[in-house]
Amino acid sequence: LTHDPHYNPMKHRLVSKVADWPFSTFHRYVKNGLLSENWCYQNDDLDVE
């Protein structure tokens, strides 16, 4: 899996959480058990710039 498409709205500061982007396939990945709901929140050192 590549997670870049899920992370792009955060990277570009359109939302503060991946789950806040309503058009993301992230929601489908969570529903299908491929990602956890808190994916991307587990690493506090994540650089969004």
Note the pLDDT tens digit of each residue in 7-42. Answer: 788 888 898 888 898 988 889 989 999 988 887 765
pTM for this predicted structure: 0.60
Contact 25, 4 (CB under 8 A): no
Q: In the chain, helix, strand, coil percent, each to 5?
A: 35, 0, 65
